[in-house]
Structure 1
Amino acid sequence: MVIGSDILPKILIPGLKTNVGGSLIAQNSIFGWILSGPVAEQISTFSTQVVEGSADSLGDLLKRFWEQEEVPSAPTHTDDDEFCEELYKNTTYRREDGRYVVKLPFKSTFPDSTALGHSRPAAQQQYLSIERSIEKKAELQTTYSKVLEEYLTLDHMEPTKSREIIRDGNYFSFYLPHHAVIKPDSKTTKVRVVFNASKLSHSGLSLNDVLHTGPVLQNDLMLIILKWRLYKYVFNGDIEKMYRQIYVHKEDQDFQRILFRRSPERPIEDVKLKQLHLALTVLPIWP
């Protein structure tokens, strides 16, 4: 929107935010927030284009403008967020090979009032169902098995007992159902395995229900894009198997059990995942 300087004083209203995203200034107006800040290179020319508006009313257009252009507020941390931060600061350590080891952020009410029930039968039922569904797709079945076998080859999972861990009537193990996500257009991983920590156990609670979610650690995408104007080149990268470079503490690995077998003719195996596979858990703070 191009506004003449003679109109500018008439549209500004109280409200000024500095250091938005590190380099922007936000001034409130009757149309919403106006962002201003430095650019990477000098702008010598610019062009404008006038397009006939749609039949939407001015009120609807302004409402959508405010919703889309609202400056994000600073994130607020809850008591649960603080608990997760302290947990990882106090318990995270690095192995000799440089990889981090983290604990799962269990709620303080676990296992007293938020307890898990048995989960192996449901995980086995779902695994057999998925196995039957991909039997007719030989290539997918082979690829799916290879992906899981790679976990064993890379020592990202190891065999465990088929009996669930029960102490004082409480379950201290959990079986993660899993399924394949197919992306034929992907240049790197066309088939990946997704583990479902939201599957309910016999108690009516899932593993997600007994874990803290933790704060969002990713930078705001809109602010990242806004900062692109400050640089001539922008690079985008992908770290292969990034989450699998982080180990879960040995005493928590039994909460990441899965079932699989290399072929339908072989018996089902019980294994536990040694790396981080729960998207909701907080990652350690990198130094």
Structure 2
Amino acid sequence: MSSTVSIDNHLQKLWELEAVAVLPESLHPHHQICEALYTNITVQDSHGRIIVNFPFKDYPSRLGNSAEVARRRFYAMERRMLKFPELRSQYVSFMQEYQALGHMSMVTNPALHESHYYIHHHCVLKPSSTSIKLRVVFDASCTTTSQLSLNDLLLVGPTVQTDLYLQLLKFRLFQYALTADVTKMYRQVLVDPSFRKYQYISWRDSPDSELQTF
């Protein structure tokens, strides 16, 4: 038995692989709501910085108690860190820089009587990095006593950056290519003060200090 495949089929697959979508895909209803919220609520301050709110898709009052969970997790993380002094030193330095740059501040009276959320944090090591080998990751998917997390109540917006293959195609069009890096890019976006109670964290530099809210 023998069979042959028409060259037309191969050519069709080739053009399908090389095709670039001309019309944008229709947005999911949740994406439309999230984008509308961003358009209507987002503002700029006098310095040009973007100020955003949180796009809640459900009542934030559904969040349960997160302070105790965050406290227990912090103590467990701190005990592990004490076994690795160099790692702990990098972690403390990272958080101290966070505070020195004004990207986090201490909260003297946390609004625990209102809906709020404590974000758990931990470190991620990347020994191959030439700049920062340790980064602190904030986990807003940690559930509260109501079995809901902050991420569970937030809308997810559409992907705004172009697909990778479209970026690669641009290299065919221009003679020169430039790359740039915005220092601590996500921290350049400000959160409206009324929503910062959903970004509480527990932290202290030393086990001898009192655990505080930032």
TM-score (structure 2 length as normaliser): 0.88
State which of 178, 183, 190 in structure 1 corresponds to 2:121. 178
Distance apart, 1:192 and its partner CA: 1.1
1:136 aligns with 2:83: yes
The structure whose RCO (Cα within 8 Å, separation 6+) is larger is 2
Q: Are 2:68 and 1:124 equivalent residues in the alignment? A: no
Matched, 1:250 2:193: yes
Q: Is 2:41 aligned against 1:94? A: no
CA distance in 2, matches of 1:76, 1:165: 41
CA RMSD, aligned part only? Answer: 2.2
Q: 1:150 is paired with a residue of what secondary structure?
A: helix
Determine helix, strand or coil for the equivalent of 2:116. Answer: coil
1:34 pairs, out of 15, 22, 32, with 15
**Which residue matches 1:226?**
169
Alignment of 1:1-287 (within 5 A): 11-12=7-8, 29=12, 32-34=13-15, 69=17, 74-107=24-57, 109-111=58-60, 115-161=62-108, 163-167=110-114, 172-271=115-214
Percent same amino acid at aligned positions? 36
Aligned AA (1:155) = G
Which structure's CA Rg is the greater one?
1
Q: Are 1:118 and 1:164, in contact at CA under 8 Å, matched by a contact in 2?
A: no
User: Where in structure 1 are there 5+ consecutive unaligned residues?
Assistant: 1-9, 14-26, 36-68, 272-287
Bigger fraction of residues in helix? 2
- Partner of residue 3, structure 2: none
| TM-score normalised over the length of structure 1 | 0.67
2:194, 2:14 → 1: CA distance?
Answer: 50
In the alignment, structure 2 segments of 5+ residues that lack a partner are 1-5
Give the Cα–Cα distance (whole angstroms) in 2 for the partners of residues 137 and 145 of structure 1: 12
C-alpha spacing 1:164/1:229, structure 2 compared with 1 (3 Å): same
In structure 2, what residue type is equivalent to 1:110? Y
Tell me how far apart the structure 2 counterparts of residues 159 and 80 of structure 1 sit (CA, whole Å).
Answer: 34
